Amino acid sequence: MEELGRLSPGDSLSSKKLPVSVILDNVRSAYNVGSCFRTADAFGLESIWLGGITACPPHREIMKTALGSTESVRWVYQENTLDAINKQKSDEKLVFAVEQVHHSTPLHEFIPEKGKAYSFVFGNEAFGVEDKVLSECHGSIEIPQFGHKHSLNIAISMGIALWHFFLHFSGQE
């Protein structure tokens, strides 16, 4: 780990973060939640907000896929996902759902504004982001898909969206 230049979990928690949080809206698979923690750690996100039925650490299935990243990513549980959205908005974050909905912005057309902080909402594996949650977001971003299913695993969607954000935010596009 030292050769890879990896931070300890404690050092990671106090390190400079990408100005992004993720909100998981009623994600039913604890394995997916664990994978989202690993993705959040990989990108150095500020936090993950777990809403509704989303499982929380130290759930066994989260721990299996998170591989210790629950110790290096700040997380908060909110029984109502709308409370997480409202907190992010009160902290002056721009909140976008990553969801296939009418009038969504294709990911390749979404260019984050420098100097702004963001929060991205990812929804339930079967039903997506709840309508009442969507209505409180500043907008929706859609990952273009070309196959029959038009469906990606939540952790894959999170990785794609965050990589796009990172490239544009860091000026490496």
Instruction: List, in order of start, the domains of the chain with CATH numbers.
Output: 20-169 (3.40.1280.10)
Residue 173: what pLDDT?
Answer: 55
Gyration radius of the chain's alpha carbons:
15
Residue 119: the pLDDT is 98
Contact 74, 46 (CB under 8 A): yes
pTM score: 0.92
> Counting runs of H as helices and runs of E as strands, what totals does the chain give?
6, 7
For residue 14 the two structure tokens come to 């106090």
Q: What is the pLDDT of residue 12?
A: 67
Q: Say if CB 123 and CB 96 are below 8 A apart.
A: no
pLDDT, one tens digit for every residue, the chain (173 residues): 566 676 777 766 677 789 999 999 999 999 999 999 999 999 999 999 999 999 999 999 999 999 999 999 999 999 999 999 999 999 999 999 999 999 999 999 999 998 999 999 999 999 999 999 999 999 999 999 999 988 899 999 999 999 999 999 876 55
Q: Which residues of 129-168 are buried (b: 16+ CB within 10 A; e: fewer)?
A: bbeebbebbeebbbbeeeeeeeebebbebbbebbebbbee
Output the pLDDT for position 149: 87
